[in-house]
Amino acid sequence: MTTAALALGDDALVLSHRLGEWAGHAPALEEEVALANIALDLLGQARFLLSLAGDEDELAYLRDAHAFRNVQLVERPNGDFAHTIARQLYFSTYQELLYEQLARGRTALAPLAGKAVNEAAYHRDHAEHWTLRLGDGTAGSRERMRRGLEALWRFTGELFKPVEGCEADWSALDGTWRERVTDTLLRATLAVPEGPRRVAGAAGGGRQGVHTEAFVRTLAEMQHLHRSHPGARW
């Protein structure tokens, strides 16, 4: 259970932080609020999941990068807005499908999954809306969306590597994920990326503590205040 709670909790925590980086930089005020709300949903999920594995603050702020078990997809830099939407489409589609399965299970993850599946469905709907709008928009927005989808495609295979403690049919999840993502991209007049869905040279990827340089920098920023004032109470 600890393995699953850490893996899913780290996914949510890291992506929440990435989306939070859009504060003050989103293309429109309405979208800034939407991204902030998604980030808060994910932070709530992370707090519950990490509390199943130990002290949530210690796990969030006092672990080194190699101790985190999030997939590399969620730690990728935001890039432009289309790049962020591509990352969100891939991840939220996966998370909704996974939580649907976990909600029907008997593990300690079921209560969280039963609630969070509705949040994930909203996140996926938001990402789909923007994928359609950008893909079937101007030539410039379509090209940006295409670049984002292709750049992140190779990070999606790791989503479906089995996680100890998660009662899920990973092969079925992968197949359904591909069907849903393909349907969205075709409706957006975008091609499904054709490259491999794995990161070359990543020995097991983020689930085994192998992370990118960008994540190390982001983690240092996220943990700076807590580490600078140990034991502080607000």
Mind listing the pLDDT tens digit for each residue in 95-119?
A: 999 999 999 998 899 999 999 999 9
Q: Where are the alpha helices (DSSP H) in 21-109?
A: 29-53, 56-61, 72-75, 81-103
Residue 83's Cβ-side half-sphere holds a number of Cα atoms within 13 Å equal to 14
Spatial separation of the C-alpha atoms in residues 59 and 6, rounded to whole Å: 9
- Which segment of 74-78, 141-145, 211-215 scores lowest on mean pLDDT? 211-215
Please determine, for residue 204, whether its predicted confidence score (pLDDT) is greater than 80.
Answer: no
For the chain, give the mean pLDDT: 93
Determine the average pLDDT of the residues in 77-98.
97
Report all structural domains of the chain as residue ranges with CATH numbers, in order of start: 2-228 (1.20.1260.10)
Listed in sequence order, the DSSP H helices in 104-202 are: 110-135, 139-153, 170-187
Between vectors from CA 214 to CA 209 and to CA 220, what angle results, nearest 5°?
80
pLDDT at res. 225:
86
Burial bucket for residue 228 (CB in 10 Å: 0-12, 13-18, 19+): exposed
Quickly state the pLDDT bin for 22 (edges 50, 70, 90). confident
Q: What pLDDT sits at residue 202? A: 52
Indicate whether 198 pLDDT > 90: no
What's the maximum distance between 2 C-alpha atoms anywhere in the chain? 53
Neighbours of 172 (CB within 10 A): 12
- Tens digits of per-residue pLDDT, 88-97? 999 999 999 9
The pLDDT score that the predictor gives to residue 138 is 96
The model's pTM is: 0.95
With beta carbons less than 8 A apart as the criterion, state whether 181 and 93 touch. Answer: yes
Question: How far is residue 191's CA from residue 193's CA, in Å, rounded to a whole number?
Answer: 6
Distance CA(113)–CA(23), nearest Å, equals 27
